Amino acid sequence: MPEPSHPADAARIEAFVEHLRHERHSSEHTWRSYAADLRHLADHLAGPTSGTNCDAAALDMADLEDLRGWLAAMAASGLARGTLTRRLSAARGYFGWARRQGLREDDPSLRLSAPAPKPALPAVLQPGQMERLFQTARHRVEDTVDDPRQHALALRDAALFELLYATGIRVSEASGLDVDDLDAERRVVRVLGKGDRERTVPLGVPAAHALQAWLRLGRPVLARAHEGGAHTDGARGPTQAAMFLGARGGRMGVRQMRERVDRALAGLGDTSARGPHALRHTAATHLLDGGADLRSVQEVLGHSSLRTTQVYTHVSIDRLREGYRQAHPRA
């Protein structure tokens, strides 16, 4: 990288590099990288139209807002996280040194922090993969009709998968559901979410049918394994009220649900998506892909902030962009 546009900035950087080499005994790789990083900062601070008319170095006049603007611009450009972190270290090292040398009265980097990393985009299953997941669950139901206990477990898992995808509820919310939370006639389920906030979430016909089959044909079989039913697991009320039961008849816990979903998703063989949260991510993305507005999706998911829901718009846009790239002749 060429020298900064202002000679005073070049002199400051050269003096700092000498400090790194002879007093800090930094490696050549470190001091060369820091020098390049500080030249980048100086050019950013000087701006494209700045020349050498000003006597002061841009590094001498930088304040916290300037440094935050520099980091934000790099983050927006897609700079690698490691490079961004190194440049932040270079700036902190320089301004701390400049203050100790009396070149500055303050150190604007003391309150400087790196921009928060972009949240990882959630793994999302394609509609075809979801259909295969449900098809496999249905086949298991059909294949276990001669074994009442295994048939009950198959009905439960099929209902659980359908519910998680249809509603996008959290696995903890699914574990806490009671039988009375389902309104089969209206096809809605009452959910107690974070902060004890209650919401009503609609579900589709396949999910409603799967839940009714489980409650009518499967749940009584597992409930008999837990006669008396007064056990409380700390989630929501006694086991006798629980929507989903484990193999021994107690309320099905979060860990059990994760294991069942993990196994089913791994069985697809063509996705890295794992866990109930993948079904939540998928439900939200498919809702947006289908034209649902962001506020409605926020209500369904139980997000207190719309910003949390907006991550799914990024997923949908990425999917749209990929489809455009593959389909449009001039993409």
Catalytic residue positions, numbered: 170, 194, 277, 280, 303, 312
191's tokens:
């959910």
Q: How far is CA 179 from CA 175, 196, 212, 218, 237, in A?
A: 11, 18, 10, 13, 11
Amino acid at 242: A
- Sign of the four-CA dihedral 19, 22, 27, 32: positive
81's tokens:
């996280």
Is the separation of the CB atoms in 6 and 22 below 8 Å? Answer: no
Is the separation of the CB atoms in 50 and 21 below 8 Å? Answer: no
In terms of C-beta density within 10 A (0-12 exposed, 13-18 middle, 19 or more buried), how is residue 316 classed?
A: middle
Closest-CA residue to 11 (of 60, 47, 49): 60
Q: How far apart, in whole angstroms, are the C-alpha atoms of residue 150 and residue 142?
A: 11
Q: How far apart, in whole angstroms, are the C-alpha atoms of residue 219 and residue 197?
A: 27
Closest-CA residue to 5 (of 43, 45, 49, 60): 43
Q: How far apart, in whole angstroms, are the C-alpha atoms of residue 28 and residue 34?
A: 10
Q: How far apart, in whole angstroms, are the C-alpha atoms of residue 300 and residue 247?
A: 30
Helix (H) or strand (E) holding 216: none
